[in-house]
Amino acid sequence: MFVYILKRTSIAVPTLLAIIALSFFLMRFAPGGPFDRERPLQPEIRAALEARYGLDDPVFVQFWRYMANLAQGDFGPSYIRPGWQVMDFIAAGFPVSFELAAWALLLAVSVGIPLGAVAALRSNSRLDVALMSAAMTGIAVPRFVLAPLLSLFFGVYLGLVPVGGWHGGAIANKILPVLALALPVLAYVARITRGAMIETLHSEFITVARAKGMPARRILFRHAIKPVLIPVISFLGPGAAGLISGSVVIERVFGLPGMGSYFVDGALNRDYLLVLGVICVYAAILVTLNLVVDLAYAVLDPRTRSELA
């Protein structure tokens, strides 16, 4: 078990480094650079700026310099915003994105699992069909359609919540973004739960438990739940990835000061180090999450444990 943890952890760091290196070089393939503007810079100014940021050095030298700084926790400066360090932006944006994603995940899991379970228990009833149709809609409708619709309906027409902005994290400002972010994941979780629950409820060990006269509640919450949680948890790895990429759209649509905007604006402006900094953070989160999911398997599924022994 310990060896398993060690093995999985030791792959994580090289994965992270590979992602960063690949991103660094891939970004340079896009035409143009941070100093290409609508009003072009005069040649001596451009030269002075490139010298200041070391952009006139060969790419490999720049890469080495970047990794050396990264090892010391320095993400480097922003090329587009003089005087700002990438760390400033990440420190400002990360709490916002993280909070949104955390609430969305909580909502998705705490509502999705019960909904899926209810649908499974009443499978093929009208309630089940209604719930699963709603889930299908949630999966099919892209966030960049859903978010503006929610904003228009509840914000502009009904005036119940603010249309956008963060307002320092006021609850009213979080309702729509968290909802828009969570709904597709919630829908997936509900469907997976339903499917897994139906399968589990028909399996042999449940039939035995029923035959033994075990109360339904105990069957559900003590025995059926673990096999159901396994596919849900294995979904949560890519699900979290979906939350992160979805947050870019949500932050744009609602005007929230999260990290997603830096991704998009940084790429469009060719602010290489800002984009890299955001990639580092996202990659670290995803690698960690996948690691946690893998370790959770070992906890939830005894078969994994015995395989490793």
Partner 1 sequence: MKAMKRLSLVLLAAGLAAASLPAWAETVLHRGNRGEPTGLDPQQANDGNDWQILQELFEGLVTPGPDGKTGPGMAESWTVSADGLTYTFKLRPNLKWSDGDALTAEDLVYSFRRLHDAKTGSNVNPILIRNGRAIRDGKAAPDTLGVTAVDPQTFEITLESAWAPFIDLLSATYFLPVPQHAIEANGEAWARPGKLVSNGAYMLSEWSPNEHVKITRNANFHDAAGVSIDTVFYYPLVEQATAFRRFRAGELDINSNYPFAELPWIKENLADSFKVDPAFGLQWLTLNNKKLDVKVRKAIQLAVDTETIVNKVMRSVDKPVTEGIVPEAFPDYPAVTVPTAGKTMEQRIAEARALMVEAGYGPDKPLKLDLRIKDRDTWKATAVALTAMLKEVYIDAPQLVADSATHDNALFSFNFDIAISGNVAAVVDPELILEFWRPGSAENASQYESAAFAAALDASRKTTDHAERYKQLHDAEQILIDDAGVVPLWFFSWGWLVKPTVSGWQESPRILHPTRYLSIAN
CB contact set of 120 (below 8 Å; sequence gap of 6+): 128, 193, 194, 195, 197, 198, 201
Nearer to partner 1, 144 or 297 (CB): 144
Nearer to partner 1, 145 or 208 (CB): 145
SS3 state of residue 85? strand
Q: How far is the CB of 190 from partner 1 (least distance, A)?
A: 29
Q: What does the alpha-carbon distance between residue 95 and residue 107 come to, in Å, rounded to a whole number?
A: 18
Q: What angle do CA 80, 144, 28 make, to 5 degrees?
A: 35
**What would the 3-class secondary structure string for 187-226 be?**
HHHHHHHHHHHHHHHCCHHHHHHHHCCCCHHHHHHHHHHH
Q: How far is the CB of 270 from partner 1 (least distance, A)?
A: 5
Q: How far is the CB of 59 from partner 1 (least distance, A)?
A: 17
Nearer to partner 1, 116 or 177 (CB): 177
Q: What does the alpha-carbon distance between residue 290 and residue 118 come to, in Å, rounded to a whole number?
A: 28
Q: What does the alpha-carbon distance between residue 188 and residue 200 come to, in Å, rounded to a whole number?
A: 18
Q: How far is the CB of 62 from partner 1 (least distance, A)?
A: 18
Nearer to partner 1, 92 or 292 (CB): 92
Q: How far is the CB of 73 from partner 1 (least distance, A)?
A: 18
Nearer to partner 1, 239 or 257 (CB): 257
- Residues making contact with partner 1 (CB under 8 A): 30-33, 36-45, 48-49, 52, 80-84, 88-89, 92-93, 148, 151-152, 155-156, 159, 162-166, 252-258, 261-262, 265, 268-270
Q: How far is the CB of 231 from partner 1 (least distance, A)?
A: 36
Q: Are 190 and 112 in contact (CB under 8 A)?
A: yes
Segment 168-174 long-range contacts (CB within 8 Å, at least 24 positions apart): 169/96, 169/99, 173/254, 173/256, 174/99, 174/100, 174/103
Q: How far is the CB of 6 from partner 1 (least distance, A)?
A: 39
Q: How far is the CB of 88 from partner 1 (least distance, A)?
A: 7
Nearer to partner 1, 76 or 257 (CB): 257
Nearer to partner 1, 238 or 255 (CB): 255
Nearer to partner 1, 121 or 141 (CB): 141
SS3 state of residue 77? strand
| Residue 249: its H or E element | helix 225-254
Of 67, 71, 80, 76, which Cα lies nearest the Cα of 35? 80
